[in-house]
Amino acid sequence: MTGEKKRVEVCYSPSQWHLYKNNYEIAVVIDVLRATSAICTAVENGVTIVPVSSVEEAKDYQNKGYIAAAERDGQIVEGFDMGNSPVSYKDPELKGKTVVLTTTNGTTAINIAREKETVVIGSLNNLDSLCKWLKEQDKNILLLGSGWKDKFNLEDTICAGAIADELIESQKFFAEEDSTIAAKFIYRSAKENIFSFLKASSHRKRLRNLNLNEDVKYCLTPNNLTVVPILKGDEIVAVNLEVEKA
């Protein structure tokens, strides 16, 4: 550590990325409902994820023999076996395999963040492990919410707020942006019962209408995973956890 505080800030959606992106070495991509929760679950289960932005790209990989998953507007795209339901990535049959994934918001956000030196995947599921790892890096960090079709969303903001709060409390980080102050504030108000806090949120309603309430409960459960997924080339894999195990 240099002893100098590093910066951690929150960008609410990919449409704001260009306004915030400068001077950060690490991007954390967050899509709580459900892409990054699914990716964390997959990687913890030994699955490698290849994130792609479009359904066409996923289709191309599928035609080459890859397992491909595609979600749009909360539903599995026709012609694909999987979407972004986290539970589906726990399948022991998938262990050791690669899944190509495209989702409405999350995989696009990952591909936008690629220009950074380091891209890691955040969710409520891997909150503590991720924060522990981030604190060890001594780098400036931008937390990117995937939003909903480029708009602000509550669940990604709560998750980003949780990470920012933990990092700032460690005294190793500072924040200056109003977006970060607001995210921290919303997280602190929501943290006792995130599920209930989000009852009015637009995407929870959307998923409830699709009978995906169990998925929502899973995604809103902090720390049921310990993995830190990181982008290496085209693949998302588990970061080396030696530091954490020490």
Confirm if 172 and 139 have CB atoms less than 8 A apart: no
* Cβ proximity of 139 and 5 under 8 Å: no
CB of 19 to a second copy, least distance (A): 5
Q: Does residue number 15 form part of the binding site for a second copy (CB under 8 A)? A: yes
Which CB, 82 or 212, lies closer to a second copy?
212
Q: Which of these ranges, 23-31, 77-85, 146-154, 215-223, lies near a second copy under the rule CB under 8 A? A: 146-154
Q: Does 7 bind a second copy (CB under 8 A)?
A: no
Residue nearer to a second copy on the CB measure, 69 or 190: 190
Please name every residue paired with 70 in a beta bridge, in sequence order, or none if there are none. 102
Binding mask 148-187 for a second copy (x = CB under 8 A): xxxxxxx--x------------------xxxx-xx--xx-
Q: By the criterion CB under 8 A, which residues form the site for a second copy? A: 12, 15-16, 19-20, 148-154, 157, 176-179, 181-182, 185-186, 189, 200-203
